[in-house]
Amino acid sequence: MWKNKLGNICAYVLSGLFVTIFLVVIVSGMFFGFFLFARTAFAVDSSQAAELINQQCLQCHGEKGFTVQRDGKNISLFVSEATYKESVHGTNACTTCHPGMEKDMPHKSAVYGQALQQKVLQECEACHDKVTKDYRTSVHGKLASAGKETAYCGDCHGSHNVLKKENPEAIYYRLNISDTCANCHDGKVMDTYKYSFHGTAVNFGYTKAATCADCHGNHTILAAEDPQSMVSAQNRPETCAQCHFFARDGFAKGMEHVTPQDKKAALPLYIVWKIFIVLIIFDFAKDGSIVIFELIRQLRGVNEVKKHTKSKDTGLNA
């Protein structure tokens, strides 16, 4: 009897367990399915919402030649829809980087230049937090935090034309980055890079030679005197060793941005430069004098021949 009861209990428990598992699977399956559907539906919905906002903004900002006058300067407010759509952020609403603008119509708090870059920086930070954290430690980032004139995200990456880093059209692509730095850094630094081994190679499209960012970094650029800088005396060997694997001792010790005329900073270079100038002058003088003496000799020769043939001619005619 008791055996029968036990059998029944077991049967109830087992079938109860079976039904529970069955129900859990069905319900979670339905839930999961709904979740997937909702996600896709929401994604479609949000990209459609973005498209709607963008069309609204582009009604005015898609107009070629749309400008505003500020401090006597014409500022272009035109945003090319085609360029924007091709950029990495092309499916985002304009308001991801310019929040609140859709409600602020006509815009009352318009700012431009560095002030606008400063505003947008916070939005870049919302999605690129790790990069921005690095950036905040750099010379450029510290000046940005102080609201000063400096390189903001948009200065090195563009605003509505941000492309992937391996795209040759990107303004921060390896072969373009030195031109981008050159927008703000000119003079000695650029001149010396242009004529350096690296600069010349990069100019010819050689992607393996060092660019500004290989030696200085991109989001962690520090002043050369800062011991943490990639180009400080102590870190320089490691920086060069990224590419110069078997460099001799002292390879990294030389000055980088230095012209031969700079006697104080680079005496050996200055001396070599002077010796070369003397050699070149000597060489020109030597080669030049050879040519001149040879010319004189030849002219004399011509006169001799003329004299000779003249006397013969008279002889024949007589």
Nearer to ligand HEC by Cβ, of 59 and 309: the residue is 59
Q: How far is CA 59 from CA 52, 56, 63, 80, 237, in A?
A: 11, 5, 7, 12, 54
* Structure tokens, 184: 């703000």
Which residue in 56, 137, 176, 235 binds ligand HEC (CB under 6 A)?
56
Residue 43 interacts with ligand HEC (CB under 6 A)? no
What is the smallest separation between the CB atom of 268 and ligand HEC, expressed in angstroms? Answer: 14
Which residue in 223, 292, 296, 299 binds ligand HEC (CB under 6 A)?
223
Contact set for ligand HEC, span 72-91 (CB under 6 A) = 77, 79, 84, 88-89
Q: Which stretch binds ligand HEC (CB under 6 A): 39-47, 164-172, 273-281, 289-297?
A: 164-172
Nearer to ligand HEC by Cβ, of 14 and 116: the residue is 116
Contact flags string 196-215 toward ligand HEC, x per CB under 6 A:
-xx--x------xxx-xxxx
> Residue 70 gets which letter from DSSP?
E
What is the smallest separation between the CB atom of 15 and ligand HEC, expressed in angstroms? Answer: 50
SS (H, E, C) 158-189: CCCCCCCCCCCCCCCCCCCHHHHHHCCCCCHH
Q: Is 78 left (phi over 0), alpha (psi -120 to 50) or beta?
A: beta
DSSP 212-272: HHHHH-SSS---TTSTTSTTSTTTHHHHHHTT-TTPPTTGGGS-SS--TT-TTT-HHHHHH
C-alpha 148/C-alpha 62 separation (Å) is 31
Length of the chain: 318
What is the smallest separation between the CB atom of 232 and ligand HEC, expressed in angstroms? Answer: 8
Which residue in 9, 43, 60, 292 binds ligand HEC (CB under 6 A)?
60
Nearer to ligand HEC by Cβ, of 65 and 315: the residue is 65
CA dihedral 138, 244, 176, 191 (to 10 degrees): 80
75 alpha-carbon distance from chain centroid: 24
Which residues make Cβ contacts (< 8 Å) with residue 137, sequence separation at least 6?
220
Contact set for ligand HEC, span 137-156 (CB under 6 A) = 139-140, 143, 149-151, 153-156
Residue 123 interacts with ligand HEC (CB under 6 A)? yes
Residue 49 interacts with ligand HEC (CB under 6 A)? no
Helix (H, G, I), strand (E, B) or coil at 208: coil
What is the smallest separation between the CB atom of 305 and ligand HEC, expressed in angstroms? Answer: 55
Residue 252 interacts with ligand HEC (CB under 6 A)? yes
Number of residues in contact with ligand HEC under rule CB under 6 A: 94
Taking alpha carbons only, the member of 13, 43, 207, 230 closest to residue 35 is 43
Nearer to ligand HEC by Cβ, of 195 and 284: the residue is 195
Which residue in 14, 224, 277, 296 binds ligand HEC (CB under 6 A)?
224
Using CB atoms within 10 A of its CB, is residue 307 exposed (0-12), middle (13-18) or buried (19+)? exposed
What is the smallest separation between the CB atom of 300 and ligand HEC, expressed in angstroms? Answer: 50
What is the smallest separation between the CB atom of 51 and ligand HEC, expressed in angstroms? Answer: 10
Nearer to ligand HEC by Cβ, of 71 and 278: the residue is 71
What is the smallest separation between the CB atom of 280 and ligand HEC, expressed in angstroms? Answer: 22
Q: Which stretch binds ligand HEC (CB under 6 A): 10-18, 216-224, 288-296, 299-307?
A: 216-224
**Strand ranges, E, within 40-121:** 67-70, 73-76
